[in-house]
Structure 1
Amino acid sequence: MTDALKRLSDEGVAIWLDDLSRKRITSGNLGELLDEQHVVGVTTNPAIFQKAISGGDGYEQQLADLASRGVAVDEALRMITTADVRDAADVLRPVFDATGGKDGRVSIEVDPRLAHRTTATIAEARQLAWLVDRPNTFIKIPATRAGLPAITETIGKGISVNVTLIFSLERYREVMDAYMAGLEKAKALGLDLAEIHSVASFFVSRVDTEVDKRLAALGTDEAAALKSTAALANARLAYQEYEKVVAGDRWQALTRAGANAQRPLWASTGVKDPQLPDTLYVDGLVAPNTVNTMPEATLQATADHGEITGDTVRDGYAAAQEVLDSLAKLGISYDDVVQVLEDEGVEKFESAWRDLLKSTEAELQRLAPKEA
């Protein structure tokens, strides 16, 4: 079952699970995935927590305790989510130790309602790092315009960051610049750069969803020929940008000071179109020093029938650029696509968080002790 996953790992792709719940931790399932499926990390987001906590498995006692103490819903939710991340980090700690901090990481996202507030995001990142209190935590900060300086300041304080919701090549370049600026701040403060890690989460499948919708509206043969090609092209060109940065003088100076590369992380790798191969965004994005964070269905599909044949990124730069050029010739605006996706991404996470707040508040009210 795990040959394809092993081949993927051997090619330099770290396999992370894009899911977490208390039941997954307490049942031993997370440990099994580490032992049997080559999983070496976990990512979470507001939608994942909304699904887990609303499902109810394993949260009743903590919710009852919080209700009896009269804890406000925002604080209650943070206590619940950080408890899960802390426990997951403990499960992954052996991987963290064995890889020198490169893997064995668990990500937790700042409140998505702060996505356009720089100072509040920085404060939230510090608070989450303090609450979880595990060295193998990544604090997720969205790559919005306001998020960029927050990334720099958070890295500059020595807190490791997973930059999320990256869709465009230009924004990705800005994210890498923000990371290097943060490392330079940390170095100036005398911090050990070897202790600071980061990944840049470049979203994949949502690009095809948006572009394919626009191609279908055109209804031409030329448009049909480009269906489901944009996402892989975009991600491959992102890796090309990564290679340019790590070869540059600025990055090389940081490397000599002990800095760790900010690995590209392929996010949103479950296919949205059921007509597509379910391992498309795994098989097509094999490159060294990357991360692929997969929903469990994608992980199991890759284990069962993934076609891992070596590097599928670095020989494809010219073809990838041709795809984006062809889309532009058809009148599909790359800049508009990526801006729509960023706006929708922030809104989806805000919506999931609001739903989670609402359902958690209802549970706290239900479980609150009835005073005589």
Structure 2
Amino acid sequence: MAQNDNLAELSASGVAVWLDDLSRDLLRSGELQSLVEDHSVVGVTTNPTIFAAAISASDSYDDQVHAMAVRSISVGEALRTITAADVRDACDVLAPVARRTGRDGRVSLEVSPGVAHDTDATAAEAAHLWWLVDRPNLFIKIPATQEGLAAITTSTARGISVNVTLVFSLERYRAVMDAYLSGLEQRVRDGGSLAGIESVASFFISRVDTEIDRRLDGTGADPSLKGKAALANARLAYQAYEQVFSSERWRALQARGAATQRPLWASTGVKNQDYPDTAYVSGLIAPDTVNTMPRNTLEAYADHGSPGEPIQKTYDEATRVMTAVARAGVDLDDVFAVLEDEAIQKFVDSWDQLTESVRSELEDKA
């Protein structure tokens, strides 16, 4: 089947199209394979919210849950077995993409959000999940908390490909890139190869507008500023990416076969229905980037999406927007701190819901 023209054009612009969704039904029905074949999908991201919805809404997990229930498997082990099985199968579906592109064909699995502020526990769980899924086109998602930065370095040094998630601010994004480069440098010092190590940094988009718009409403600022900060923030992140991955430090690693840590645009479904439903895709066009989309955003772009102005031409305007937002009285440091805390708590809540769903299923199937 021919690729959708709009998504093929997006892919040709340098934006890798990933799907922010996964379920056993998506795999068994062949729907994921179809999205690869006709929607230019070359990667998949997951999180606890996605898995909680998938397990609670389908009976496709019943046989596996029953087998674990009669063996008296713990809830935690059952949860990891279920999610790892889906991610492993998705990695296998996307393995031809990984072989063809060398960079994409990746599927992400997240460490427990409950350890987001524990460096050693995060690194240990990342290593365990890498071993458990056992696929070279896996990404382990590690939150970009202060404590997560060292875990990113440790995991990279161990040869684990990391998707750094929950990045909101430019300051933290620069720290994330530094953590990745430090991991590569440590691996070189330890005599390891950099071949096959990939990384993305997931820069969150829509939540930035949600929080900043709310604060602008309380300042009496020019209403035309609303709905602009998220794109401006991400565009300046890409400028930072260009700076870091053209540095002498980077070139030394590149000479040893290192791959750049691509920016990944996450949370790209609009939350304010007054905004165009493809705004966070069309507005973030640049080479060597990833846009992971929920299914409704992917379908919207397939239907009527078109690429906007390349990011590299927007830096001056993006700087003007963020300066104007700050001058309007919005404390950007506080915005990003609140967003990080809220995002981690949301994933903790989803993880608890996922755990409870698995516990209930185990009890029912025992």
**Residue 256 (1) aligns with residue 258 (2):** no
Residue of structure 1 in register with 2:265 after alignment: 266
Residue of structure 2 in register with 1:26 after alignment: 28
Give me the TM-score of the superposition, normalised by structure 1: 0.97
**2:79–2:355 CA contact under 8 A, matched in 1:** yes
- 1:270 maps to amino acid: G
Residue of structure 2 in register with 1:301 after alignment: 300
Residue of structure 1 in register with 2:162 after alignment: 161
Give per-residue Cα distances to partners, 1:298-331, cap 9 Å, x unaligned. Answer: 001001000125x521111111111111111111
Structure-2 separation of matches of 1:106 and 1:195: 15
**Residue 283 (1) aligns with residue 282 (2):** yes
Residue of structure 2 in register with 1:133 after alignment: 134
| Aligned residue among 7, 10, 19 for 1:8 | 10
What are the equivalent positions in structure 2 for 1:1-372 lying under 5 Å apart?
2-100=4-102, 102-218=103-219, 220=220, 222-309=221-308, 311-368=309-366
Q: CA deviation at 1:207?
A: 0.1
Structure-2 separation of matches of 1:242 and 1:272: 26
Q: CA deviation at 1:223?
A: 3.2
SS of equivalent to 2:311: coil
Structure-2 separation of matches of 1:88 and 1:57: 19
Give per-residue Cα distances to partners, 1:133-158, cap 9 Å, x unaligned. Answer: 10000000000000000000000000
Q: CA deviation at 1:192?
A: 1.8
SS of equivalent to 1:194: coil
Q: CA deviation at 1:281?
A: 0.2
SS of equivalent to 1:292: strand
Structure-2 separation of matches of 1:46 and 1:223: 37
Q: CA deviation at 1:217?
A: 2.1
Structure-2 separation of matches of 1:184 and 1:31: 37
Structure-2 separation of matches of 1:277 and 1:328: 25
Structure-2 separation of matches of 1:314 and 1:281: 16
Structure-2 separation of matches of 1:223 and 1:23: 46
- 1:284 maps to amino acid: G
Give me the TM-score of the superposition, normalised by structure 2: 0.98
Give per-residue Cα distances to partners, 1:147-189, cap 9 Å, x unaligned. Answer: 0000000000001000000000000000000000000011112
Structure-1 separation of matches of 2:222 and 2:343: 25
**1:23–1:57 CA contact under 8 A, matched in 2:** no
Q: CA deviation at 1:366?
A: 1.3
Deviating beyond 3 angstroms after TM superposition, the runs of 4 or more aligned structure 1 residues are none
Structure-1 separation of matches of 2:133 and 2:303: 35
SS of equivalent to 1:287: coil
**1:165–1:345 CA contact under 8 A, matched in 2:** yes
Give per-residue Cα distances to partners, 1:204-224, cap 9 Å, x unaligned. Answer: 000000001111223x3x331
Give per-residue Cα distances to partners, 1:69-114, cap 9 Å, x unaligned. Answer: 11110110000000000000000000001112x0000000001100
Structure-2 separation of matches of 1:340 and 1:64: 41
- 2:329 maps to amino acid: G
Q: CA deviation at 1:194?
A: 2.2
Structure-2 separation of matches of 1:138 and 1:192: 18
**1:74–1:357 CA contact under 8 A, matched in 2:** yes
Aligned residue-pair number = 364
Structure-2 separation of matches of 1:234 and 1:323: 9
Give per-residue Cα distances to partners, 1:212-239, cap 9 Å, x unaligned. Answer: 1111223x3x331101000000000000
**1:283–1:312 CA contact under 8 A, matched in 2:** no
Question: Percent identical across equivalent pairs?
Answer: 58
Structure-2 separation of matches of 1:41 and 1:307: 20
Q: CA deviation at 1:190?
A: 2.1
Give per-residue Cα distances to partners, 1:225-284, cap 9 Å, x unaligned. Answer: 101000000000000000000111100111111100000000000000111100000000
Structure-1 separation of matches of 2:97 and 2:357: 34
Structure-2 separation of matches of 1:11 and 1:359: 41
**2:25–2:58 CA contact under 8 A, matched in 1:** no
Q: What RMSD, in angstroms, separates the aligned Cα atoms of the two structures?
A: 0.9
Flag structure 2 segments of 5+ consecutive residues without an equivalent: none
Structure-2 separation of matches of 1:153 and 1:161: 10
SS of equivalent to 1:332: coil
SS of equivalent to 2:312: coil
Flag structure 1 segments of 5+ consecutive residues without an equivalent: none
